[in-house]
Amino acid sequence: MSSENTEKKPMLALPSTADETVSVDINDTYKLKEMGPVVINENGTMSRINNWFEMNDIERANVNRVLLKRNRERLAKLKAAADEKEKEEAK
C-alpha cells in the first residue's frame, strides 16, 4: 500500500449557513408548485410525479385534471374503509 491510501482524509461537512435562508412561522403556508401535484396511492401513501418539471403546460393541466379526480376517489375509498374498520372495532 502507498502512503497516500493510509493518510486520513478530512471529513466533509455541510456549510455552517445556507446562502439563501427562509424563516418560516408556524402558521405560514407555501405552495410548492414547482414540485408538482401530490399523488394519493391506493394504499394511502403519497408521492409526486418525477418528471413534472419536464412537462409542458398542456401536459401539466391534463395531469392535474386526472389526478384531482383520481385523488378524490381514492381518498373517499380510504375514508370509507377507515370508517368501516372503526365500526367493526366498536362492536
Q: Where are the domains of the chain?
A: 34-91
Task: Report residue 82 as a C-alpha cell.
Answer: 377507515
| pLDDT tens, residue by residue, 8-41 | 777 666 555 555 566 677 777 666 667 888 999 9
Residue 79, C-alpha cell as written in the block: 375514508
Dump pLDDT digits (tens) for 54-87. Answer: 999 999 999 999 999 999 999 999 999 999 999 8
Integer Cα distance of 71 and 65 in angstroms: 10
- For the whole model, what pTM was predicted? 0.60
Give the CA count within 13 Å in the CB-facing half-sphere of 85: 6
